[in-house]
Structure 1
Amino acid sequence: MSSFPPRFMDGHDERIDTDAAVRQTDSDAAIARFSAVQKQYLYDPFIKHFLPRGAQHQSARPPLINIGTYVRSQAIDYLVNQWITFSAQEGKKCQIVSLGAGSDTRFWRLATGPRKETLAKYIEIDFAENTTKKAMAIRKSRDLSAALGKPEDVTLVSGGTGLSSPVYHLLAADLRSSPTSSLAPLLQAKDAISLPLLDPSLPTLLLFECVLVYMTPAQSSGLIQWFVDYFSQSGSHTTLGGIVYEMFGLSDPFGKVMLANLKTRHVELPGAEPYPTFESLRNRFLQHGFEESNATTLRDYRRSGIESSERQRISQLELLDEMEELELVLAHYAITWGWKSFGDGEQKSRWSNWRF
C-alpha cells in the first residue's frame, strides 16, 4: 500500500536499500490515511494500529494528500463492494487476495461490517519485513485480533512472518520472484489430499494497490498470468477479477517531475513504462485474456463518481489552494479493473455490470 502522492524519507547513506525505500511508502500511506481519518474525510478505526511509532503525534497531511487519499479509497471501496455483491448473487462467498497489502485495513473494515459473512478467504501477501510488523500489530491489538475469530484458531506462521486464521491469512513473499516458487507453495494444495488455501472454485478478486508499478513488466505480467493459469487449470466455473491502482502517463512534463522526485529518493517505477497513456491502461488485463477491462483516473472519479452531497461535505473540511496541482496529480493516478469468467453466459452477463 503506497502513499498518495508518494512521499519518502530522505536517504543520505551511500549504501542504498531500494527495497527499504519502497517499503517506506507503506508507512507513508498509513500516515496519510490516518491524516484523512483525523480530518474526517474517511472513517477507519483500525489504521491507528498500523502507524509507525510516533506517527499519531505528527501534523496532519496537506489537503491535497488528504483529498487524494479519500478519492482513491472511495473508488476502490466501490469496486470491491460491488464485487462482493455480485459474488453473493451467484450464491457464493468470495476470496480477496491483496498483493503488496502493507498496512491496509480493508479486511477489518469488511469483517466488522454487514459484508463479513460474504468472505471465504482474505489473503494478504507482502515483503516479510512488512508482514512481520503487521502480525505483531495484530497480536497486540484486541480490536484487530477479535475480528479473526477464536484465539485458539489464530496462529503465527513461518517463524512469525505471517499469521493464519479461519478467514484471514497474512503471508510473506517477494512478489518479484517466480510465482511458481513464491506463490504456489503458499496458495496451492501441498499434496493430493490437502485443500488449497486459495479455492479455485470461488469468485476471486486480486488487489494491486501501488505494487505492480515497482516491478518490471515481465514480473507483473508473470504474476497475473499465474493466477489466470491457476483458475483455468482447475476446470471450475468461476470468475477472476483484478484491481490495479498506480501512477501512469509519466512521460509528460508533470510525470517527468514526479519521476525525478522519486529517483532522488532511490525509487524507480519500471512498471509504469508500458502505460504511457490512459488508453494503454486496459492492456494490463486484456493481454491476459480478460474479457473486460476498464480504467478511470482519480481526477475523473472525483468529478463524476462521487455524489454531489458528498463532494459538498468534502469541500467544507479544508481550504484547498492548490486546485490546479490537485487536478494534475489526480490525472496521473488511475484505477484499472478487469474480469475473466471461467463459467457460462449468465455469469458473464452479471460481471459485465462491474463498473462505476
Structure 2
Amino acid sequence: MSSDSDLATQATCNDASTCKRYAVQKGYWNDPYISHMVKSVGSRKPPEINRGYYARVESVWILIKKFIHATERKCQIVSLGAGLDTTFWRLCGEELSPIRYIELDFPNVTMRKVQTIKSKTLLTQAFNTSENDTKIETSSIISNKYSLLPADLRDIELVEKQLKLAQIDFTIPTLFLTECVLVYMSSKNSNAILKWVTTNFENCMFVNYEQVNMNDRFGHVMIENLKSRDCDIPGVDVCESLESQRKRFQENGWDQVNCITMWSVYSILPQSDVQRMERLEFMDEQELLEQLLTHYCLCWATKAGESFNLKEIEL
C-alpha cells in the first residue's frame, strides 16, 4: 500500500468519528466521552447513515459486554486500528473495564489521540491513578490499565512487539476488535493477524465489522468511491460474501465462527431500543437502509472457549 493510500485510509477514521459524534448528538446512543475525543460533528448525516452506525455500535457493544461478563472481567481487550474510539471509557463508565485495554493504530492517529487524551482530565483519570505507573509520550500511552501504541498492522512482528510492550497477558481470555480495518490490507496480512492470535492465545474471541457482498453493483460503487479518495482496499476479495468472511477465520484456527449481515443484525437488536431510535428521525425509504446494511457484516469468532463459555456468546 502506498503512503498516499495510508493517509487516505487514516482519513476514514475522521469520517467514522464525526458520524458517531453526530449520531450521539442526535440521541441514537449514549456516549458522554465522544465529544471530548472528537471536536466536530461535521455536516448533517442522512438517517440511514445514523441508523447504520447505531446498528454497528450497539451490536459490537453487546458482544463486548457479553465477553466481559462471560470472563467475569478477568480478561483483556485489544482494539486494532482503534482510531478515536471511546469504548474503553464507556466500559469504565459502566464499571465493566477489563484487566487491560490496548489500542493500536498508525502513528499519526495515535499521536492525535494521545494529544486529545492528555488535554482532557475526564479521559486521563480513567487510567492514570495513584497506583498506576503511566508513561505518556508523543504517540503512545502505556499504563497498567490502558495502553495506546503506534503500529502498522501489516507488520505482525511489530504488532507483537507493541502488544508485549503494553504488557499483554497471553494466558487470559482476550478479545480482539477490528472495525473496517482488515479490508485495507491484503488477505495475506489479515490472515497473519488472525493466525497469530489463535497461535498465541488459548482462549480468545475476535469481532470484525466490515464490508460484504461487494460483487454486486452497489458494492462496486462503494469500491469506486473509496478508490476516488485514493483508498486502496486490497482485502476486498475476502468481502465477497458471508462465506468468504467465515472461511478466513476457519482457515486460521478459529473453532467457531458467526457471520451475519448488518441488516440481519438490525432485526435482532433489542427492538424496544430500535423503536426508540427510529423515532428520532423520519426516514422516507427503508430500502436505502436495507441496501446499505446488506453490504456490511458482523463476524465474531472464538477459539477454545469452553471453560469461559465464549462459544455460547450470541447477539
Normalising by structure 1, report the TM-score: 0.84
Picking from 288, 292, 299, the partner of 1:329 is 292
Alignment-derived partner of residue 205 in structure 1: 175
Picking from 184, 203, 207, the partner of 1:243 is 207
Alignment-derived partner of residue 156 in structure 1: 136
State the shift of 1:279 in Å.
2.3
Alignment-derived partner of residue 301 in structure 1: 265
Return 266-275 or 135-144, whichever deviates more.
266-275
Alignment-derived partner of residue 61 in structure 2: 77
Deviations 1:296-343 (A, max 9, x none): 11101111x2223222211210011232111111000001010111x7
Cα distance in 2 for partners of 1:30, 1:94 equals: 27
Alignment-derived partner of residue 256 in structure 1: 220
Deviations 1:217-265 (A, max 9, x none): 001111121222222xxxxxx4111011110121111111111111111
- Sequence identity (%): 36
Alignment-derived partner of residue 12 in structure 1: none
Instruction: Report if aligned partners of 2:211, 2:239 keep a CA contact under 8 Å in 1.
Output: no
State the shift of 1:153 in Å.
3.0
Alignment-derived partner of residue 172 in structure 1: 150
Counterpart amino acid of residue 183 in structure 1? V
Alignment-derived partner of residue 314 in structure 2: 355
Cα distance in 2 for partners of 1:28, 1:85 equals: 31
Instruction: Report if aligned partners of 1:249, 1:272 keep a CA contact under 8 Å in 2.
Output: no
State the shift of 1:16 in Å.
7.9
Please list, as runs of the form range in 1=range in 2, the aligned pairs for 1:282-321 lying within 5 A after superposition.
Answer: 282-303=246-267, 305-321=268-284
State the shift of 1:187 in Å.
2.5
Picking from 86, 99, 117, the partner of 1:120 is 99
Task: Provide the secondary structure at the position in 2 that maps to 1:70.
Answer: helix
Segments of structure 2 that go 5 or more residues without pairing to the other structure are: none
Counterpart amino acid of residue 307 in structure 2? Q
Instruction: Report if aligned partners of 1:297, 1:334 keep a CA contact under 8 Å in 2.
Output: yes
Alignment-derived partner of residue 164 in structure 2: 188
Instruction: Report if aligned partners of 2:77, 2:174 keep a CA contact under 8 Å in 1.
Output: yes
Task: Provide the secondary structure at the position in 2 that maps to 1:17.
Answer: helix
Cα distance in 2 for partners of 1:30, 1:275 equals: 23
Is the counterpart of residue 272 in structure 1 residue 236 in structure 2? yes
Picking from 6, 10, 13, the partner of 1:23 is 10
Cα distance in 2 for partners of 1:81, 1:145 equals: 22
Picking from 13, 28, 39, the partner of 2:26 is 39
Instruction: Report if aligned partners of 1:16, 1:266 keep a CA contact under 8 Å in 2.
Output: no
Task: Provide the secondary structure at the position in 1 that maps to 2:235.
Answer: helix
Decide which structure has the larger Cα Rg and report it: 1
State the shift of 1:140 in Å.
0.1
Cα distance in 2 for partners of 1:280, 1:219 equals: 16
Instruction: Report if aligned partners of 2:102, 2:163 keep a CA contact under 8 Å in 1.
Output: no
Cα distance in 1 for partners of 2:168, 2:144 equals: 13
How many residue pairs get aligned? The number is: 313
Counterpart amino acid of residue 238 in structure 2? P
Is the counterpart of residue 281 in structure 1 residue 239 in structure 2? no
Alignment-derived partner of residue 235 in structure 1: none
Cα distance in 1 for partners of 2:128, 2:228 equals: 44
Higher relative contact order (CA 8 A, sep 6+): 2
Alignment-derived partner of residue 143 in structure 1: 122
Return 320-329 or 77-86, whichever deviates more.
320-329
Counterpart amino acid of residue 330 in structure 1? L
Counterpart amino acid of residue 36 in structure 1? A
Normalising by structure 2, report the TM-score: 0.94
Deviations 1:32-54 (A, max 9, x none): 001111110011111112225xx
Cα distance in 2 for partners of 1:312, 1:223 equals: 38
Instruction: Report if aligned partners of 1:36, 1:42 keep a CA contact under 8 Å in 2.
Output: yes
Instruction: Report if aligned partners of 2:195, 2:253 keep a CA contact under 8 Å in 1.
Output: no
- Which runs of 4 or more aligned residues in structure 1 lie more than 3 Å from their structure 2 counterparts after TM superposition? none
Alignment-derived partner of residue 5 in structure 1: none
Alignment-derived partner of residue 227 in structure 1: 197
How well do the aligned residues superpose, as a CA RMSD in angstroms? 1.8
